[in-house]
Copies of this chain bind each other. A is one copy, B any other.
Amino acid sequence: MNRDDCLALDAADPLKAFRDEFVLPEGVVYLVGNSLGALPRRTSERVRRAVEQEWGRELVGGWNSAGWYAQPLTTGDRLAPLIGVGPGSVVVGNTTSIAVYQAVAAALRLNPSRNVVVADVTNFPTDNYVLEGLGCEIRDISEGLHDDVAVVLLSEVNYRTGERYDVAEMTARVQAAGALMVWDLCHSVGALEIDVSAADFALGCTYKYLNGGPGAPAFLYVNPRHHEAAENVLSGWYAHAEPFAFEPRFRPADGIRRFTVSTPHVLSFAALEASLDVWERVDLAQVRAKSVQLTSLFVDLVGDALELASPREPERRGSQVSFFHRDGYPVMRALIDRGVHGDFRAPDILRFGFAPLYIRHVDVYDAAQTLLEVLDKELWRDEKYAQRLAVT
């Protein structure tokens, strides 16, 4: 596979037109869309409208006229097809950590005779930290599914390695063991064809492959079979049966609205809405097919130059490729200095995310060639790459 072959694949790519819908920096191959997705071109105008027209002119009337009040539900319905579930089963708002808290707290109450939550020590840490705040007993998935397990919380795609669980198989196994299944979809939504309709709960963020913007609101799916019995421990006024009745006692809303909490972050929602305007025209089967092509091409081109941390079989990974390197930090800095943006995860992981809506085969080719050059010529040994960036 040479560069011209890649250009030919790009010319035949059914998703190629989507690249023009994103603002992409000149001279950069941006392989960090699995961390923060690129800016859709339409977003700035949508946010400007939310600020200047909806807020500036409508003022408090915007809660009705601009649909702010219903955003957690209307945006949830737009997002639902991306995770394979129906309308009326997803709310949008808050953050992934808060959605984990809501989901696992509710799942524990639905399974009160058991008290263990099984997680994966390799989950993104916030998931496991939040479990500690819930005060439950936590056990690693490697210890199996015993009969005291109430809830299992797993990420469909692992944030470090890109390894993917078989959602259908694991959901069935967990439920057969008498536990409830909660999926974290942060690293899969917008990159895979997802179907969590059999799961009990699912959640994730919208700022990675979905391009909702930095800190965009999270989503929470609750299986409709739990809508009547599930409790939302974060029972804010939005979750009340009649929020504007201002009743003294909490009475949960029917349906998915009982999993809202309170006032949505309207300006952050505006950006997410603009991104969903793009996603509603996307065929997820094409996204997945292109993702497999891009990641496989990168694995093939890098070859034996680095030890692969991701599964080699494309069906077992998401849309990212990770490699081990003892000096991963300076390697990544040297790469970024040459216009190839991936990221580093301590202690030794080089991560590259491939967002199929705006990454081309030729980008993969160029990124691989740059990476091979950095490794071959040991360019990363330059001492300017050794110093850590402050993140405080």
Contact = CB atoms under 8 A, between A and B. Distances in A.
A303 B119 CA distance: 64
Interface in A204-242: 205, 207, 213-217, 232-237, 239-240
A302 interface: no
Contact of A389 (B54, B64, B132, B343): B64
A63 interface: yes
A89 interface: no
A392 B243 CA distance: 9
Interface in A231-290: 232-237, 239-240, 243-250, 261-271
Contact of A60 (B97, B341, B390): B341
Interface stretch (A43-51, A168-176, A304-312, A373-381): A43-51
Interface stretch (A10-18, A79-87, A120-128): A120-128
A1 interface: no
Interface size bracket, A side: 35 or more
A133 interface: yes
Contact of A51 (B43, B52, B63): B43
B64 A390 contact: yes
A203 interface: no
Contact of A39 (B52, B97, B124, B217): B52
Interface stretch (A28-36, A145-153, A359-367): A28-36
A19 interface: no
Contacts of A128: 248-250
Given A97-B234, A215-B68, A271-B267, A262 B51 contact: no
Contacts of A216: 265
Nearest to A36: B60
A59 interface: yes
A7 B123 CA distance: 63
Given A97-B262, A268-B268, A237 B125 contact: yes
A165 interface: no
Contacts of A263: 95-96, 205, 207, 214-215
Contacts of A25: 57, 59
